[in-house]
Each structure stands twice: as C-alpha cells, then as structure tokens.
Structure 1
C-alpha cells in the first residue's frame, strides 16, 4: 500500500514538474512581473495600460478569503476591459490576460470594515513582442500582391490590382491602404486608393485603379502598405513592387536669338527639338516672325521625323527694320505625332529682345500660364543625343531684369534729393 502511495506521489510530482516546465516555456515572452498595491480608487500605468482598482466585494466585519477586486483597464489604443479577480474563490480566477499583452495576477485581496480602505496586491507583466513575432504573425495571417494589366502607351491607362488575402478566421476593421506612385505617373482621379476597408475571415479583397504616364519610360510602382490593428498592435504588410514600361515620343524644344556682332539689325534664330521618348515622331515646326522683320536666310517652317534620343535644328536669319521698344520674341509652334496616332502641340517660351547694353544680367525667359514647359516633336538631326551647347542669348533680358533696373534708377534718384 505504501509503495502504491509513493508511486502516486512521485507521479504527481513528475506531472507538476512537467507542467511547470511547460508553463515556463510558454511564458518566455512575458516580461518580469512587477508587484503593485492598489487601494480603492488607485490607478497605475504600465506600458501603455491604465489599471484601476474600481471596486471591491462588500465589506464584512472581517476579511474573508473569497473577497474580490474589480479592475478596469484602458490602453493607449482606446481599448477597455474590466475583470473580477480573487485569490481563493472557486468561481472567480486570480489571474487574467488582457488583449494578449497584459497579464494581471491577484495574490492578495483585503477588505472589511476593520480597515480604512480595501486594497489588493497584484503582479503585472506585459508581453514582450519582438519584430520576429510580429513578422511571423502577420505573414501567416495576411498575404498581399500587386499586379498590372500590361505595358502601356503614353496616351493610355494601365490598371493596377491590389489583392489582400485573409488566411485566418479573423475579422479586421479599418484596414488602411496606403499607395505611393513614382513621379510622372498620375492616378485615376475618380478612384481613391488610399482608403480604409474591412476584411472578413478567409476573404479576398481586391482594389483596382488605373494610372496614366506623363512621359514615356521605365517606371517602378513601389509596394503598397497595408496597415492592420489587432488588439491594439499595429501590423504592416507590403505588396511586391511592379515594373511598368510606357511607350511614346517625348519632345522638348527651345528657341533662341543671337544678334550679329557686325550688324545690330541682324539676328540668328535657332529652334532645337529633341526626342526624349522611346518612339519616333513626325514633327512640324512653324515659327512666328518678330514685328517689322524679314527673313534673310533659311525658312521659318519645316517638317521632319526625329528618332528617340536625337536632336534636330531649324535655323534662319532675320533683319529687323525698325526696333520699337523691347519687342517680344514670339513662340514657335511644334506639332508632333507618331505612327500610332498619338499627337500633341507644343509652344516654346517667349522672351524679350532688347537693345545691346553693357554688363547685362543673365536673361530669363518670360513664363506664360498657357504655355507648355515641354515639347514633343522631331527637328533636324544634330548628334546622337549628346548634350549640345545652345547659342548665347545676346541682347535678351527678362521682365524681372527690366523692373530691377528701373527700381535701381528710381532709388538712386531719391537718394540724391
């Protein structure tokens, strides 16, 4: 009989030891417990949690073992919990975990009419969430992808699809979708990609939008950020990036004027056009003459084809019979189209043409609200796309320079009074 009792005792000890070891393994991620004493109405803050001793069991002539404390807990993420904890009560537990991140254990509850105020002694520990734990959890819960429909042309839209797969029987509210697009890629104005969605258990959420490129080239659409809040913890998941190729011509044009050093009435006009796209374009250039001027050499209009990364030039000379004031050099109009049928019109910037002066400041072109700042077309080929030096502006000055010079003269006159 004694042998049987000993075996039972040894078995119980071994079972308790195994249980303790298992419990220890499970609690390796919990921070060290810190003890606190809370009197009725007291509160403490622990790692973003506000714990308050809100109430106690009814006071009796003396303290009893089944007394309990009512705790209220609020987190920084506006979560709220309440719980009853007791030490020796078979109906009320002595420990509880809140939001999977806060563990509170009551090891003494004292109440009764023989003390000034009831109080409790509790042990508090918080869960130590590591980046590895977060990544593992979110990767096993949410799977996201991003795809595009096809490569596109400069005047076409391409559709981007974001898919969110919920792999668990969990529901997520107010999931944030944060999208980022590269420069020169515009999003469909009728669709708001940066939005909040709810994700049901084992569901697939699909978000689709379209984009359009301002110029041809190779683009990388960055990963989309998915922000999920679960039990007060923020998790982030990112889609893959996707590559987008946009085809088409892209043309820049400039117009300059240079005075003849021997004859102030003669000017050389140069219009340079470069195709910075990846498709050839047919170009028509039509320039506008200055007032009271005649063409001495060359022509003011031409048509040509310019291949990608090529530069073509239209040059002509004019004589101005009578320069009145500071005439404005008008814009040259550049029309272009390609083999696909895509076309557009561009106008070069205007600028002032002034009489020759010494030590003129750097000229600045006149900005216009209704002028494009970039062009598309095809002029006379000059090189294989290498940067070329434009002729100097000569006697060209900006409106700002004129105003600055005028104000300087006025200020000097006032100073001599």
Structure 2
C-alpha cells in the first residue's frame, strides 16, 4: 500500500513539474525586438535568429523562413496580419514574426511580380525585471547623541518593471551582522505581474555599540522565475554608517598673535562625547622648535574620561625664539579598549609672531695671513624678522693689530628680510694665529622691543710657508672708503639726525660709545684696495722720515 502511494506521489510531482515547464505561445508576453521591410531574398537578424523573405505569391502571401544558428527551424506562408511563432523548448528563447505590411503588385503586361516587399515585426519572449530598493531612514547613526533613534528602521520594496510576469518571488535581506529587533527579513510572493509592486517589507535593526566607526552594507536579494521556469536574481543595497559609542575630541587653542618678547598661552581640552567611560588615556603634546615652553612644563599626562566629561589637560605658556607664522604640533591621545589600541589627534592652531630677528656675521677676505698683512674685515647685519629695527654695532681694534681704514661703527635701520654690512682694514702684526673677538650689537624697533646680538669669533690662522692663501671676494659695497665711512657714521640713536626711526627716547642704550667711534673716524685714511695684499708697513715710512731729517740737519750745518 505504501509503495503504491509513493509511486502516485512521484507521478504527481512529475506531472506538476511538466506542467510548470509547458506553456503555449498564447501564454507568452511578447516584446518587440525589431521591425524591418524585406524585399525578395532579404533578411533581418535578431540575436541568433535570421528571418528571410524567401518568396512571394501573386495571391498575397510571403514565404518566411526562420533560421537559428544558420539552421532552418521553421517556415510558413504569411498573409497580412499573420504571424509565425517558434517555440524554443530547450532554451526558452521564443520568437514571433508578425506581418504588418505586405506589398505585392503584378505586371499586367507580363504577369510577373513587381518588386514585392513585406514588413515584419520580430518579437521576443518578455522577461521579468524586478526593481529592488532598500530604504533606510538615516544614512548615519550616532549612539552618543540623544537625537539618534533607538533602532535602524527600514523597508524593502519590489516592483516588476520588466516585460513579463515573475513567479515564486522570494526575498531575503542580509543585514551585514546587524541584529533584527522587529519585523522580518524574508518574504515570498506567488507572482508579480508587469508594473505590479509588493507591499513594503518593514524591519527594525538594533544599533550596535562600537569602539570604531563602521559601515554596514544591507543587501536585499530577490530570486524569481519566468514563464519558462528560469530563475532570475535581483539585488538592492544600502550602506549605513554607525558611529562609535564613545569618542574623544581633543581641542588645542592658542593666542593668535604676539610680538617678540611677549608670551602666548596654550590650552588643551579633552572631551568624551560618548555614553561610556574611557580609562587610562595617555595624552601627549609638544612645542614648535621656534618656541620655548616656560616653567619646564611636562606635556604628558594620563587621564580618564567619564561619559560626556570634559577635562582641561594642559595649560601652559610659550615664548618665541624668532618671528614668523608657526603651526603648533597636534596633540595625541591613546587608549586601549577591548584589547585594541586607539589613537586620535587634536587640531593644529597657528601662532603669528611679529618682530625683528637680527643676526651678525663676521668674516675676513683671506684664509690665512703673514705678519704685516693688511686684512679686510666685514661685519654683516641680517634681519630675518618681519619688522624693521635700528641696529648699533661698534668694533674694537684687537691686540697685535692696527686700524688701517674703513669704519668700525654701524648705526642704521635694517629693514625686515634684508642685510646691511660695514668693513674695515686691519694691519696684523701677530706672529701666531689671530683670534678676533665676536662682533656685538644692540637693536631696538618702533614697538620698543630691543636686545643684544653677537656674532661668532673670527679665527685667521698664520700662513704656513709654501701654502696658498685664499682670498674671499667681496661685493663693492662692502669695500670701505673714506666717503662711504663718513656717510655711515650718522647717529641713528640720535633722534635729531634720523627721522624714520624716532625711538631714542624709549631706549636706555648708552651713547658713551659714540665718542670712541669718532676716534676711529679720525684715524680713517684713504680707501682700501679691494684686492688687499701685503703692503709696505710702518717701518718704510719711518725710514723716509729719518732720511729727510738727516738732510735738514746737514743743511743747517752748512
């Protein structure tokens, strides 16, 4: 009895399966593929089918052949509005040829056909096409904000935008790991006609609590059958972002602008924007290399932040080393949660510093010397700042040397990002290496900012016998002459003689050095040859003087 029942059940399933695959041309939903007018012997191709107007008859018929992959599969004599249908039982690629226009005329004299034509419309079996859309209310969800909803709410809609009915429509939603809170994620529809839509399938998903921001791609997949029982797959997707459950915001602020000599103030604030505490947060900060931190402040601290808590981590003061516009380094915060390390940075504020920045450089025009050589010394005053400054430099004749010519005094305005210099010649008497002291100067600007500067010391080695001396080439404007020297002797710190920098009344710079510079000016002799070499010394002039004295004594005796 059981065996008979099983046989009956199997036969029933086989019958139903055969019924599912069996359909007639009347069941097909045709879609137009191409229209063509064919003369005698012409053809038209659609996919792998070729339709040929093989012949015409005087009684109003066109003989149509259908080829598939160059094999004749069907033919027929078609009159006006007739059609020829080929049912592809293997692949389901059914085709229909419909005669929409037929033009047949006969030559009355000869009785022959006069260029007959047939217009055919070629149809293919239509297929379903499902438009699947995943609709989510928000693109991003932040669990730390009170305005964020409790769930990720969404739905899936399906519409048949194709050319044929879809059957056995099965919908499945992949939530990328997000857990279902309400609703459903699967649905089955028996059929879906052309232009028909299903009722939206709604669902709610739980918002996960994460330490990292993460994107979730929700995919709705639909599988449906066509009339030939072929399966078709359609997808709809939507990507959403879930923010971390806790986040640290580091905010670094600083005074926007100061002058050289002034102090800027920096603060670093850490805020936990989440609803979960974060423990053992290591915060590090640093200072730009052009700035000095005061009070030896340590810029490393370990803190903890409760939900929504804000902490002032650092407050410190800095002083500029040189003027300019500097970007402060970003502060960092590092912590570990659930075995994973996290790191974040603050913003990088900008500090603008105004003022002069004076540098002195002292150099000679030779690499070595012999006792009795005249050597040209040049002092350069360079202002690398962004404000003009009055600079005063006064040199002294070192031991074992004598002043020859030029100027050993500078008192003038040095504009921002510019360089000035002065030069003088020394007669070197030393029989060992010469060590010239550093050039020293003082400066002051219109804002009252002042300071002292020094160059490096200058060493000129004694020439080794047989060695070659190297001469440093100097610009012409650095080679001193008496007239040029006198022109540079104007007292810049004397307000009566300098209109463009009237700041002497604000300065406590001593004027006692002015008299010493005058003595150097009195000693100045004619200009120095720019290509200074060893020249006749004091001894030659002394011999000439003695010679003339002897002549005068002899004359008196006579």
Among candidates 402, 407, 428, match of residue 299 of structure 1 = 407
User: Which string of whole-angstrom CA distances, capped at 9 and with x for unpartnered residues, describes residues 132-151 of structure 1?
Assistant: 69x96458632222221231
Quick check: 1:288–1:331 contact (8 Å CA) kept in 2? no
Task: Identify which of 408, 420, 435 aligns with 1:312.
Answer: 420
Which ranges in structure 2 are unaligned for 5 or more consecutive residues?
1-171, 181-208, 217-240, 472-487, 489-529, 535-558
Using a 3 Å threshold, how does the CA distance of structure 1 residues 132 and 343 change in structure 2: closer, same or farther? farther
8 Å Cα contact 2:256/2:350 also seen in 1: no
Q: Distance in 1 between matches of 2:470 and 2:179?
A: 73
Q: Tell me if 1:255 matches 2:407.
A: no
Q: What is the CA–CA distance in structure 2 between the aligned matches of 1:267 and 1:361, rounded to whole Å?
A: 12
Matches within 5 A, 1:313-392: 313-320=421-428, 322-357=429-464, 358-359=466-467
Aligned partner of 2:178 among 26, 43, 46? 26
Equivalent residue number for residue 401 of structure 1: none
Q: How does 1:187-198 map to 2 (within 5 A)?
A: 187-198=293-304
Aligned mates of 1:147, 1:271 — CA distance in 2:
42
Structure 2 residue aligned with 1:12: none
Distance 2:271 2:531 in 1: 61
**Contact 1:138–1:237 (Cα < 8 Å) also in 2:** no
1-structure distance, mates of 2:258, 2:341: 37
1:264: Cα distance to partner? Answer: 4.6
Instruction: Say if 2:307 is the partner of 1:155.
Output: no
User: Quick check: 1:167 aligned with 2:319?
Assistant: no
RMSD: 3.8
Measured in 1, the distance between the counterparts of 2:346 and 2:245 equals 12
TM-score, reference length from structure 1: 0.52
Cα deviation 1:180-226 (Å, max 9, x = unaligned): 33322222344222211121221111232222221111111132112
> Could you tell me how far apart the structure 2 residues matched to 1:392 and 1:195 are?
63
CA radius of gyration, larger in = 2
C-alpha separation in 2, matches of 1:193 and 1:392: 56
In the alignment, structure 1 segments of 5+ residues that lack a partner are 1-19, 29-99, 102-126, 364-379, 381-390, 396-417
Change (3 A) 1:316 1:352: same
Q: Which residue of 2 aligns with 1:110?
A: none
Q: CA contact under 8 A between 2:370 and 2:462: conserved in structure 1?
A: no
| Partners of 1:306 and 1:263 in 2: CA distance | 36
Query: When the two structures are aligned, how many residues end up with a matched partner?
Result: 251
Distance change in 2, residues 1:231/1:170 (3 Å): same
| Distance change (3 Å), C-alpha of 1:191 and 1:22 | same
Which residue of the partner structure matches residue 213 of structure 1? 320
